[in-house]
Structure 1
Amino acid sequence: MQHRIIVLGAGYTGATAAGRLARRLRREDVAITLVNAEADFVERVRMHQLATGQDLPPRPLDAMFTGTGVSLKLARVTAVDAERRAVTVTGERGTREELPYDTLVYALGSGWHDQGVPGVAEHAHDIANRPGALRLRARLADLGAGAPVIVVGGGLTGLEAATELAEARPDLDVVLAVRGGLGDGLSAKGRRHLREVCDRLGVTVHEHTAVDAVAAGHVTTAAGASLPSEATVWTAGFAVHPIARATTLETGDNGQIVVDRSMRSVSHPQVYAIGDAALAMGPGDKPLRMSCASGVPAAWQAADAIAARLSGGKVPVTPVRYYQQCISLGRGDGLIQFVTADDRAVDRALTGRLAARYKEAICKAATWGVAHPLLVPSRARRVVPRQERAGEAVAGTAL
């Protein structure tokens, strides 16, 4: 019988893992199923572009995985039973189905996090996914000149959203509210360039400003100030998909699945978690941050570990480390902040148009890697029957 591998989620990490597994293992030995709620691959790192009116080319998943041996199933994941090794999904017509697995790769990712702030869910917009970005796009199209728009959050997503919006719609009054200082965590050069870009684009920055409530036409700060806003964009963090917390899988306080260095669940060895869904430790024993920079290498690690264990080979463990933080500041400007392995800023930074091109090249490379899984050379391995694997003499022993 074929070894059944189910990958949940076809974002950067899930799609990358599915494609890499298809290269690493022989089709006659494994059945790889990729489950996703949408038919297209979503370039999440470009949602701020979509929200500001730019059109992104469609990337159908079925076309991406044609000829790979990966079976695409369009459905929404509603439950995971880690004890019975089964996933429950709901199809496009509301039909429920149970999918049994031998190995599960959990890559359901994350969505926006309202942080429990009153009014966010009712009145704010998010750009954590395509539906949210499209809703914001429609709202922005209705706004006239001079309308105030507030972006809440000074992380990379907030910086990209505010500058992209200010460049695309210079007629709007774009405000950025950050809890700390502008560009906290960047180098001095990075902070200086970021401030220059905000000044040039006309972005009003409120530093050391926490937003305590969001209403239809304004936000209220912790200091009691009321700031007018015809569209509030909430980028103050991400929350993982809630399904994992409802399972018997060991999770951290925020619902991420706790994994070892090979991205394998510490409580259920048949399950691997990657991307934002995983609580994985990086250099300096610091948790990897939710990002594409963490997720794609984690997907490589998980796929290679699964292939090695199934083929009886040595499991490679390549530490996930960081090299840079890439920030687009509109279409013609950017900031590449070089960092240590554990993601701390160093003095070196690339800015301006060259940085914008650098960021664009990285985005295109990430998408190309997902869209062309068979063009990366790799030797497929034969799956060794369980009873033949070293240290696994009894059928049914965990992978």
Structure 2
Amino acid sequence: MVVTGTGPVPNEGNAMNATNARPDGHRVVVLGAGYTGMYTALRLAHRTRRDGVRITLVNPSGRFVERLRSHRIAAGQELAHHKIRDLLAGTGITFVEGTATAIDPAARRVTVDGAAPPDHELRYETLVHALGSAADTGAVPGADAHAFTLDSPGSAGRFAARTAELAASGGAVTVCGGGLTGIEAATEIAESRPGLRVTLISSDEPGGMMGAGARAYVRRALDRLGVTVESGSRVAKVLPGAVELADGRTVRSDACLWTAGVTVPPLAADAGFATDARGRIVVDAALRSVSHPEVLAIGDAAAVRMAWGEIHGTCQSGVPTAQQAADTIVRLLRGKPVRPFRFGYVHQPVSLGRRDAVIQFTRADDTPRRAYLTGRAAVAYKELVSGSPLVVYRLSRRMNVSANFFKGGRATRRPAV
């Protein structure tokens, strides 16, 4: 659990203290070049550009993936191809394309598979764990074997290729999971592939976290696009040509897209870091591992609590944790007390195909306010939100750009319990 507060966080037990006086040569390894890892690396590089800090960013692919738009790939749309090396150009950050397979915290060493030379080892004084999460296809029998995910452009692209074949023959597609990702995927697919029969399967009402008005708007959009909704239904098994529900019914499914639940890589737990029941690294108020303070965890990889409860994995909350991690490292290197992380939610933006969207505005704890936005204005708002990380990255190469616009106000001034 995280303890937050309004004052500086003590630095005791910090493994960076030996280098506080002279950060030159301090080695920082960032694992994961998604929304959070990319921002931490870029912000840290700019803020330490005169300090000689050596930053290495590790990622399995050389492509930066816009996860906020992965549902569009699944619907057969082409997205811009952003090369990580291009985003890092001129920053001094070293990019290693490979998969982190092991962390040795005693030796402060990361083993990277797929890098050159093979089994490349990276040493660090500070490690930032930003490996994110993936769809939890292991929770339901058959999902790992028969369901597609949005975890990578490759998987989303294979689903798109399959649905293109099915559309001509009136095939049936299921989207399992009625959260924001599932809603976006179902509506995008139904709009792009009108020949398909699309069913959205959800244990709760789709958009259940929204207010009544926005939730009703989502339901009308699903109806307008011809999406069949199976709400209150739990998936028991995914079969080659169907999805079996807990009540014994089956839903025809020539292709299944799994968006229900996430899991994190076992790398942190295997390394002996303190983790919660879901495998996320338990962090302090400054996002340092409570068991290994030279390690910071951000985004979906971290178990972060505010006074109002636990932060859940979204880009909206993840990018501010990335900013916090970079700033924490800078303060530690300069011998300054670190500051506690503060964050509050603002909105739940959901696209409903290319021509419609709904934006539910929220309180700091992500509970819905009465206000929501729909239609063309919501489409423009959603596109602005989805494209903002890349704008922040490009600006961050030249200046300090804040991505934490709302820190929660009174909701985050008292400590978590």
Look up the match of 1:320.
343
Give the superposition deviation at 1:313: 2.5
Give the superposition deviation at 1:345: 1.1
CA deviation vs aligned residue, 1:218-246 (integer Å, no higher than 9, x gap):
11101100111110111101111121111
Look up the match of 1:153.
177
3-state SS of paired residue (1:198): helix
Aligned CA RMSD, in angstroms, stands at: 1.4
Aligned residues: 377
Structure 2 counterparts to residues 199-210 of structure 1, below 5 A? 199-210=223-234
Q: TM-score, normalised by structure 2?
A: 0.88
- Once residues 61 and 208 of structure 2 are traced to their aligned partners in structure 1, the CA distance between those partners, rounded to angstroms, is 36
Indicate if the aligned counterparts of 1:36 and 1:74 stay in contact, CA closer than 8 A. yes
Look up the match of 1:85.
108
3-state SS of paired residue (2:305): coil
Give the superposition deviation at 1:27: 4.6
Indicate if the aligned counterparts of 2:72 and 2:188 stay in contact, CA closer than 8 A. yes
Give the unaligned 5+ runs of structure 2.
Answer: 1-23, 402-417
3-state SS of paired residue (2:286): coil
Look up the match of 1:131.
154
Is the counterpart of residue 19 in structure 1 residue 42 in structure 2?
yes
Structure 1 stretch displaced more, 361-370 or 203-212:
361-370
CA deviation vs aligned residue, 1:111-143 (integer Å, no higher than 9, x gap):
110252111111111112222111211211221
- Once residues 113 and 145 of structure 1 are traced to their aligned partners in structure 2, the CA distance between those partners, rounded to angstroms, is 30
Higher relative contact order (CA 8 A, sep 6+): 2
Amino acid at match of 1:241: P
3-state SS of paired residue (1:337): strand
3-state SS of paired residue (1:68): coil
- Once residues 237 and 340 of structure 2 are traced to their aligned partners in structure 1, the CA distance between those partners, rounded to angstroms, is 45
Look up the match of 1:72.
95
- Once residues 73 and 94 of structure 1 are traced to their aligned partners in structure 2, the CA distance between those partners, rounded to angstroms, is 11
Indicate if the aligned counterparts of 1:111 and 1:129 stay in contact, CA closer than 8 A. no
Give the superposition deviation at 1:52: 1.0
Look up the match of 2:328.
305
- Once residues 243 and 142 of structure 1 are traced to their aligned partners in structure 2, the CA distance between those partners, rounded to angstroms, is 38
Indicate if the aligned counterparts of 2:303 and 2:311 stay in contact, CA closer than 8 A. yes
Look up the match of 1:51.
74
3-state SS of paired residue (1:171): coil
3-state SS of paired residue (2:391): helix
- The counterpart of 2:311, out of the listed 288, 295, 302, is 288
- Once residues 110 and 400 of structure 2 are traced to their aligned partners in structure 1, the CA distance between those partners, rounded to angstroms, is 31
- Once residues 351 and 237 of structure 1 are traced to their aligned partners in structure 2, the CA distance between those partners, rounded to angstroms, is 27
Structure 2 counterparts to residues 1-399 of structure 1, below 5 A? 2-92=25-115, 95-143=118-166, 144-284=168-308, 286-377=309-400
Q: TM-score, normalised by structure 1?
A: 0.92
CA deviation vs aligned residue, 1:153-206 (integer Å, no higher than 9, x gap):
011110110011011111111110110123212101111100110111111111
CA deviation vs aligned residue, 1:283-325 (integer Å, no higher than 9, x gap):
41x1110110111000001110110110122423340210111
Distance 1:318 1:245, change over 3 A: closer
- Once residues 205 and 49 of structure 1 are traced to their aligned partners in structure 2, the CA distance between those partners, rounded to angstroms, is 20
- Once residues 226 and 26 of structure 1 are traced to their aligned partners in structure 2, the CA distance between those partners, rounded to angstroms, is 58
Give the superposition deviation at 1:28: 4.5
Look up the match of 1:395.
none
Indicate if the aligned counterparts of 1:64 and 1:372 stay in contact, CA closer than 8 A. no
Give the unaligned 5+ runs of structure 1.
Answer: 379-399
3-state SS of paired residue (1:195): helix
